[in-house]
Chains A and B, each alone.
Chain A
Amino acid sequence: SQKIEQNSEALNIQEGKTATLTCNYTNYSPAYLQWYRQDPGRGPVFLLLIRENEKEKRKERLKVTFDTTLKQSLFHITASQPADSATYLCARISGGSYIPTFGRGTSLIVHP
């Protein structure tokens, strides 16, 4: 089965630093990976997508990378702010299926 693994431990960083979250997948590479943000008591919100043939994608302070050799995606938030504190979910979409498989998510806490 296709799995998505994210570090279940919370990531604590100081405001202004770069936060880096990891998403590892098993078996064959997904067609693309998606990253979502989830705040307490709310539904996940889509942030970024990266395709299998892309190395890197950026959106404002966010950057996502896709390494098919390591079977890994990294999600970076530069110049982090306390408002970035949330749980970040990674999801894989495999070719031929439109149904995402989500990781458990990693909680990010940015301290002022």
Chain B
Amino acid sequence: DTAVSQTPKYLVTQMGNDKSIKCEQNLGHDTMYWYKQDSKKFLKIMFSYNNKELIINETVPNRFSPKSPDKAHLNLHINSLELGDSAVYFCASSQTGTTDTQYFGPGTRLTVL
């Protein structure tokens, strides 16, 4: 009965590779997000996706792209990985019209070598 799930939990890859992280929520929420948490534990929003409206944090490189096949899924694709992409990536969901409480997934620790 996991609310927000992510795969994989850990991802180790070489610089220059392309990788994807998958996210699914079974809460029936209409908005999903991707966050990046760096080594200093700062949680920064990368994207939010609501009813086919994508809001992008302008600081996110265009090597990152979210893809939503349906309302319950928001995957994150990363092209040409760089060392600085190493971080923990969290998926989250919320329901608009409420208090926007975020329900987070367990996180994916990405390590770029």
Q: Footprint of B on A, CB under 8 Å?
A: 32, 34, 36, 41-46, 49, 87, 89, 91, 93, 98-102, 104-105
Contacts and interface: CB of A to CB of B under 8 A. Distances in A.
B107 A43 contact: yes
B104 A45 contact: yes
Given A43-B90, A43-B106, A43-B107, A100 B100 contact: yes
A12 B33 CA distance: 33
B62 interface: no
Please report whether the interface of chain A is mostly helix, strand, loop or mixed according to DSSP. Answer: strand
A34 B31 CA distance: 17
A18 B111 CA distance: 38
Nearest to B105: A43
A100 B50 CA distance: 14
A10 to B, nearest CB: 12
Nearest to B55: A99
B55 A104 contact: no
Contacts of B45: 99-102
Interface in B61-113: 90, 92, 94, 96, 99-107
Interface string B18-50: 000000000000010100000011111100101
A101 B33 CA distance: 12
A98 B101 CA distance: 9
